[in-house]
Structure 1
Amino acid sequence: MESTLNTELLATMLKDKRGNKGLRAIAQEIGGVSFATLSRIEQGKIPDVDTFVKICKWIGVSTDTFIIGGEELGEVSTKDMVIAHLRAEKVLSKDTVNMLVKMIDMAYNSK
């Protein structure tokens, strides 16, 4: 099975994480990524591999979170999937999502 990148989820999570900060500030924060590249990603374009990895690290999720198909890549953890879906949620406030993510982290770290 061929795998592809869920650019919609990546764009949503990038937008959610940056909040009200400008793309130039985020580009500096991530390092090695231009604000123009971030803008294209927020518009649903596919980033190069290095940029993709940097953004995933900055967002705080596994690269596997955004891979559709391709079982050879391995399973995405339940924790990563739940957090990815929460961050992409449009109904809940950002503060609510952040609180839920903290609760999930605490639950997984207490095992």
Structure 2
Amino acid sequence: MQSTLNTELLAGMVKSKRGNLGLRAVAQEIGDVSAPTLSRIEQGKIPDVETFIKICKWLDVSTEVFIVKVTSSKVLSNKDHVLAHLRADRELSSDTVNMLIKMIDMAYATK
């Protein structure tokens, strides 16, 4: 049995705690997290580990709250793993990441 991150729960809790505050204000409150990163998390994207831990501290919940045991049929695909790693890479610009994501989407679409 493997584990995955419950991104729906994470997104919902971030949205709920953020309330009417802007993404930039919350990003500053959390510290060392960008507003675009928070936006992606609210859209259900998987954050990198460091960001995930910071958000859990900000939410005042254990990281274990978001870890879900899944059967092998619900495990993330190879494509999803690759995309998650790309999005978490802080050395690449967002433009480069977006271009690579498009290339990967095209590669998997031509299977």
TM-score by length of 1: 0.62
Aligned residues: 70
1:49 is aligned to 49
Identity of aligned residues (%): 74
Q: 1:62, 1:7 → 2: CA distance?
A: 14
Superposed CA offset, 1:25-50 (max 9, x none): 00000001000000000000000000
Q: Which runs of 5+ in 2 are unaligned?
A: 71-111
Q: 1:20 is aligned with what amino acid?
A: N
Q: Which runs of 5+ in 1 are unaligned?
A: 71-111
Quote the offset at 1:24 in angstroms. 0.2
1:59 is aligned to 59
Q: 1:21 is aligned with what amino acid?
A: L
1:2 is aligned to 2
Max Rg structure? 2
**Structure-to-structure mapping, 1:1-111, within 5 angstroms:** 1-69=1-69
Secondary structure at the residue paired with 1:41? helix
Q: 1:14, 1:54 → 2: CA distance?
A: 12
Q: 1:4 is aligned with what amino acid?
A: T
1:103 is aligned to none
